[in-house]
Chains A and B, each alone.
Chain A
């Protein structure tokens, strides 16, 4: 039974930043890494 999911949802603030904010920051960091060719030709 999902007793407590609040720890990993957007509505719950972590000690530092919310999950959403972390996701956006990491995505932007990855986008910058791709833009400046630190990450190139990521395969699938």
Chain B
């Protein structure tokens, strides 16, 4: 299974020192991302100039590939770790700013369709992963973590659930590794399948948002197909992320009922604590754009800032995927995860194709 580079916790200290610690890693992310952007232009330009038939490889894939090569061939010095860990900050910043490219009517329409599909996807995914976990005799809490990770939003959901259901560190690591490995594979398989099926941007974006578990990989998988598909993938994935509190709460109550986790006190406070707050930022920016708070040029600038933030994220996706660590992980959780993900991908593809027929996406 793919796994992350061991992550360092930022020790409490002087805020300025903590800020300085992230600089090398952030520069590395920016350098890789920018190299991806340059490669996109130079390789495509070279191929065109020499009349080669060469697939148009976007900066997204180049940034991921460069990160993958570095993380799997070199030992990244510790000085870069804290900055590499910021990839999730850039992801969320990019998503909030992406709100500028949606007027509220789009959010309500696509978000409404997404919400309906998300509810179906979550219900079926939870049931499917629970069944597979039982068949493969995985530990019950590991099964719960895999089910939560594959149905809602990957790594964040697993971490949110870990404390709530009092799961082992080892189980959480297994589940996270499985989700990350499958997310990395989806970057290559989802766009290829969609091209073979001639899917339109909205349908594909919805599929990537529903079928790819981790937010960074879902965003990348969407952007790999097209800019428009990337937008829709983020919206669908954000809708899915918004459900995290409800799913984790359900599992927390289930395990507390078996005296294997602490009882949940105030359920509303629990839901708020688990709710991804960046969703509110995304909606707020979208609201401002809908009420014409920005000129057309300013909306373009916000969209471009969002792309720059995602550029750093995509470099981070490659850098944290370390295939050398795969062999250190157990095989069974990966098989369960892989089987579940393939079935969920087929299922969500069916849902999106069905929605396309009904609503003409």
Residues of A participating in the B interface, judged by any CB pair closer than 8 Å: 1-12, 15, 18-24, 26-28, 30-31, 34-35, 39-44
Contacts and interface: CB of A to CB of B under 8 A. Distances in A.
Contacts of B141: none
B276 A20 contact: yes
Nearest to A30: B305
Contacts of B92: 10, 19-20, 23-24
A6 B7 CA distance: 9
Contacts of B274: 11
Nearest to B155: A5
Contacts of B173: 1-3
- Output the residue of A2, A40, A44 with the most chain B CB within 10 A: A2
Given A7-B10, A10-B156, A41 B93 contact: no
B307 A23 contact: no
Contacts of A19: 88-89, 92
A44 B300 CA distance: 10
Contacts of A24: 92, 96, 277-278, 280-281, 284
B9 A9 contact: no
Contacts of A34: 294, 298, 301-302, 305
B4 interface: yes
B360 interface: no
Given A30-B302, A34-B301, A3 B277 contact: no
Contacts of A18: 277
Nearest to A28: B281
A39 B303 CA distance: 13
A2 B176 contact: yes
Contacts of B156: 9-11
Contacts, number: 124
A3 B304 contact: no
Nearest to B157: A11
Given A2-B180, A11-B156, A31-B100, A22 B301 contact: no
Nearest to A18: B277
A7 B97 contact: no
A10 B281 CA distance: 14
Contact of B176 (A5, A11, A40): A5
B304 A2 contact: no
A15 B305 contact: no
Contacts of B100: 31
Given A2-B3, A23-B278, A35-B298, A11 B96 contact: no
A10 B280 contact: no
Contacts of B301: 34, 39-42
